[in-house]
Structure 1
Amino acid sequence: MSISVLILTLNEELNLPDCLDAVSWSDDIVVLDSGSTDRTVEIAKAAGARVYHRVQDNEHAQRTYGLRQIEFRHLWVYMPDADEITPPDLRDEMLAIAADPGRPEVMFRVRFKNIFMGRWIRHSSLYPTWVVRLVRPDKISFERQINLQCVADGLEGRLQNHFYHYSFNKGLNAWYEKHNRYSWFEAQESLKSLRRGRLKLADIFSGRAELRRRALKELSFRLPFRPALRFLYMYLVRGGFLDGGAGYLYCRLLTAYEYMIVVKMMEIRRREQGLRV
């Protein structure tokens, strides 16, 4: 048994060829495009992918549409982003899972190696971060509009191998444009969290990395000087300085992203009060 592949795209002509080449072992590759104006769709069709089109309103709706409205040939669906490369060892591990009908899991998390300035920035990127990539589409759902949280209707597992993430491959201008959009959604989610008032402090000490990461994020919404604290945590506490110059630059970039979120939270609050920004 093989695995279907779902890739969401928007102007990914620089990243898509390598991503598609790394999943060419699948006989069912689907690209869900949200209005690319470059050669993304042409590249996908040339590689034999089935191409669907949908204007993206947010990541939650787009990914839900991809998994619910598109019919896949196989029970399992692998969901790499266009800037991710799937190495052979991860491929083989996933295919072995798909070939075993007795597996009780309905989704799997996987770690990744974030590549910046030609090197793996292990410490600055808060490795290991576990993200969902292999799923049974009928057994999962999503929460949040951005940086989705995946909820499984059943057991979840963890893959032992990694994929490679080239999030800066399209350049810093593209990175800033993307995170400018993301920061608006993050600001909205941050305010929702504050208004709910729920904070599971015990999860900070959980043995599961994804729960610790989520709890620390929730805690950060409630702290003053949030951008500066994030830099100190990433660069000093988590050892970003061990990644050299690339680590310093990466930590500064994520600090800028955090600052965008904080400022946009202020903007949302003022607009809710009928005040000008």
Structure 2
Amino acid sequence: MSAKNDYPAMSVFVITLNEEAHLDEVLESVRGVEEIVIIDSGSTDRTLEIAEKHGARIVHNDWPGYAKQKEFGIAQCTHNWVLNLDGDEVMPAGGLKMIRERIAEGDVNGIWIHHDDIFMGHSLRKARHHKYRRVYRKDKCHMNTDVLVHEHIEVEPPLAYLPIYLKHYGYDSAHGYMDKLNTYSLLKAEQREQQGRPCSLPRLLLIFPLMFLKFYLGRQMIWSGWRGFIKANIDAFHFFLTEAKLYEIAYRRKQQQKK
């Protein structure tokens, strides 16, 4: 237990690379936690200065990929209970207290929480959101490092759910969001190619309209006005772009084999 209270001690770790835009707010939102660990892969802005201001322990690690960097971050944490935040995710008021109170009750190895995506300056809270395992015990978790993108951690049951919505600024601008998805789509295409899951003409033709309907209607982005309409199109294009890049990878490989 923490000396400050009856809560088990907790480490917060954040993966960073030039995160000065939101890092101050991120770290302020978890003020009072026993340990903050910054895993940085070479920031050239004020990221490290901001981290030092909040008393964080900074560890440099060259970028090995999303999953392996988070696995490294978990290993650097001193305490068994870990909260993982990205450099653009802010814990809402009262959220940390809710997490720590639930952990103190026992009988749980991890906690599911949500994102509240900020897109074009506004929340998309009316849309349906995924749950994420962001709070877990080090001795009860395993990071799947076989994936190149959209890494996820496996946590032994039981897990609890809390209605906490991290304020997520990673998708705030359409330009920045498209930049991220351009990178993610290439990583996903490379992963699909490694898994022997080729592109197909039907998928290339149908993926965009089907995914648009999934996001706009199924994920209920329709209730977020024109921002929801725009984001549903961008998300659908991400899936189309993945298929297009997968096709390109296969095509270029065949061309090389002919030489």
Q: Same fold (TM over 0.5)?
A: yes
CA contact under 8 A between 1:84 and 1:163: conserved in structure 2? Answer: yes
Q: Find out whether 1:93 has 2:98 as its counterpart.
A: yes
Distance 1:109 1:193, change over 3 A: farther
Q: Match for residue 128 of structure 1?
A: 129
Provide the TM-score with structure 2 as the length reference. Answer: 0.85
Q: Provide the secondary structure at the position in 2 that maps to 1:11.
A: coil
CA drift at 1:239? 3.3
Q: Find out whether 1:112 has 2:115 as its counterpart.
A: yes
2:183 to 178, 181, 184: 181
Q: Match for residue 3 of structure 2?
A: none
CA contact under 8 A between 1:194 and 1:222: conserved in structure 2? Answer: no
Q: Find out whether 1:57 has 2:59 as its counterpart.
A: no
Q: Match for residue 32 of structure 1?
A: 39
Please give the per-residue CA displacement for 1:97-135, whole angstroms capped at 9, x wherever unaligned: 3334xx2322221122212133322455xx231111101
Q: Match for residue 216 of structure 1?
A: none
1:75 to 59, 73, 80: 80
Q: Match for residue 209 of structure 1?
A: none
Q: Match for residue 5 of structure 2?
A: none
Structure 2 spans left out of the alignment, 5+ residues:
1-7
Letter in structure 2 aligned against 1:235: Y
CA drift at 1:147? 0.9
1:1-277 matches, within 5 Å, as 1-68=8-75, 70-72=76-78, 74-100=79-105, 103-124=106-127, 127-143=128-144, 144-169=147-172, 171-191=173-193, 195=197, 224-275=205-256
Please give the per-residue CA displacement for 1:163-185, whole angstroms capped at 9, x wherever unaligned: 2212234x444333322221111
Q: Match for residue 201 of structure 1?
A: none
Q: Match for residue 4 of structure 2?
A: none
2:102, 2:212 → 1: CA distance? 39
Structure 1 spans left out of the alignment, 5+ residues:
197-220
Please give the per-residue CA displacement for 1:208-265, whole angstroms capped at 9, x wherever unaligned: xxxxxxxxxxxxx967421221112222344322211111111122123222211111
Distance 1:71 1:235, change over 3 A: closer
CA contact under 8 A between 2:17 and 2:40: conserved in structure 1? Answer: yes
CA contact under 8 A between 2:204 and 2:243: conserved in structure 1? Answer: no
Letter in structure 1 aligned against 2:33: S
2:248, 2:204 → 1: CA distance? 18
Letter in structure 2 aligned against 1:6: F
2:93, 2:225 → 1: CA distance? 29
Letter in structure 2 aligned against 1:236: L
1:65, 1:139 → 2: CA distance? 16
CA drift at 1:155? 2.5
CA drift at 1:78? 0.5
Q: Match for residue 212 of structure 1?
A: none
CA contact under 8 A between 1:10 and 1:40: conserved in structure 2? Answer: yes
CA contact under 8 A between 1:123 and 1:238: conserved in structure 2? Answer: no
CA contact under 8 A between 2:117 and 2:171: conserved in structure 1? Answer: no
Q: Say what the alpha-carbon RMSD is for the aligned residues.
A: 2.4
Distance 1:228 1:173, change over 3 A: same
Letter in structure 1 aligned against 2:19: E
CA drift at 1:8? 0.5
Q: Number of paired residues?
A: 245
1:92, 1:243 → 2: CA distance? 29
